[in-house]
C-alpha cells in the first residue's frame, strides 16, 4: 500500500470554511503549529490537518515561496519570517508600542507582577504585549500565546465588552474582573478594558501573579486600582472618554468580589 493511501483524507469543515478551500487548507497548515512547536514533519502536518501528504507538499511549497514556511535541513518544516512581519504590523494597529507598552512597564514596575495586553480572537484571547518583573517567582507568558477566552480575568473582560450577555453585566458596570486559579491553580489576575475614540474595545489590560501573593485581598485591591488608572490613561491616549474609570476607581475600596 502506498504512503499516500495511508494518509488521512482531506477534511472539510463547512462550519469554519471561508469558502476558498485552498486558503482554508493553507491556514490549517499554519495553524497546525502550537506555541511550543519549533518544527513539524510532513507526516505530523498531514496528521494534524487531515490533509493528504501530496496536498500538504503543494501547499508547503507555496507557503515557502511566500515566506510563511521554511524547509529545514532535516526535512522538517518551521514557520517562516513573514508572520513576524505581519505580527509587527498587527501590534502597531493597536499602538502597543507607543501607548500600551510604556503603561505595561510602569504597571509591572509598580506592582512587581506580570503586566500584559490581550485582544480577543474568536474563542481565544491573544497576548499582544507583556512585561514581566525581575523577581524570580512570577507568571511567565509569551507574546502570541493564546488561551481560552472563557477563563481568566482578561477573558471575562473581553467577553463582557464584546457580547451583550447578562453574565457580563457586573463587569460592564464596575469595569474590572478578577480571577483566582481559573486557568492556572497557582495564579491570580485582574483585568480592565481599554477603549478607543468611538467607545470600541481595544483590548484588556491585565496583571497576573502568584496566587499566594496577588490573591491577597489588599494586594488585589491595589492591583485593580492601578489597572483602572492605566486603563484610563490608555483610553485617553486612544482618544476615548476616561470618565467611566474615574467612577470605577471610586468604587474599588473594599474589593470583595471575584
pLDDT band at 254, cuts 50/70/90? low
Say which range, 34-38, 39-43, 240-244, has the weakest mean pLDDT: 34-38
Pull the grid cell for residue 126.
Answer: 491573544
Q: Which CATH class is domain 86-250?
A: alpha beta
3-80 to CATH, choices 1.10.10.10, 3.40.640.10, 2.30.140.10, 1.10.3720.10? 1.10.10.10
- How far CA 252 is from CA of 153, 189, 206, in Å, comes to 16, 16, 16
Q: Which residue has the higher pLDDT, 1 or 217?
A: 217
- Residue 255: is its pLDDT beyond 60? no
Q: Residues 132-160: pLDDT tens digits?
A: 888 766 777 888 888 999 999 999 999 99
- Residue 49: is its pLDDT beyond 90? yes
As annotated, the residues of the chain forming the CATH 3.30.450.40 domain(s) are: 86-250
Whole-angstrom distance, CA of residue 30 vs CA of residue 222: 41
3-state DSSP assignment of residue 20:
coil
Closest by Cα among 143, 153, 246, 133 to 193: 153
Is the dihedral angle over the CA atoms 248, 253, 256, 258 positive or is it negative?
positive
pLDDT band at 17, cuts 50/70/90? low
Amino acid at each position: 500500500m502506498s504512503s499516500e493511501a495511508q494518509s488521512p483524507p482531506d477534511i472539510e469543515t463547512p462550519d469554519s470554511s471561508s469558502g476558498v478551500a485552498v486558503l482554508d487548507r493553507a491556514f490549517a497548515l499554519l495553524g497546525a503549529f502550537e506555541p511550543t512547536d519549533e518544527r513539524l514533519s510532513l507526516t505530523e502536518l498531514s496528521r494534524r490537518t487531515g490533509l493528504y501528504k501530496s496536498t500538504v507538499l503543494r501547499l508547503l511549497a507555496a507557503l515557502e515561496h511566500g515566506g510563511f514556511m521554511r524547509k529545514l535541513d532535516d526535512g522538517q518544516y518551521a514557520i517562516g519570517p513573514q508572520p513576524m512581519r505581519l505580527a509587527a504590523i498587527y501590534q502597531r494597529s493597536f499602538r502597543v508600542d507607543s501607548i500600551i507598552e510604556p503603561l505595561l512597564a510602569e504597571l509591572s514596575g509598580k506592582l512587581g507582577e506580570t503586566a500584559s495586553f490581550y485582544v480577543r480572537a474568536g474563542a481565544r484571547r491573544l497576548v499582544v504585549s507583556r512585561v514581566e518583573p525581575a523577581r524570580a517567582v512570577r507568571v511567565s507568558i509569551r507574546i502570541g500565546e493564546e488561551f481560552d477566552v472563557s477563563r481568566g480575568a482578561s477573558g471575562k473582560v473581553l467577553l463582557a465588552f464584546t457580547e451583550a450577555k447578562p453574565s457580563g453585566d457586573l463587569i460592564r458596570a464596575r469595569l474590572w474582573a478578577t480571577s483566582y486559579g481559573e486557568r492556572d491553580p497557582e495564579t491570580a489576575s485582574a483585568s480592565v478594558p481599554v477603549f478607543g475614540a468611538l467607545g470600541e474595545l481595544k483590548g484588556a489590560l491585565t496583571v497576573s501573579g502568584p496566587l499566594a501573593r496577588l490573591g491577597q485581598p489588599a494586594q488585589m485591591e491595589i492591583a485593580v486600582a492601578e489597572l483602572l488608572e492605566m486603563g484610563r490613561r490608555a483610553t485617553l491616549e486612544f482618544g476615548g472618554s476616561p470618565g467611566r474609570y474615574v467612577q470605577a476607581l471610586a468604587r474599588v475600596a473594599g474589593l470583595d468580589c471575584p
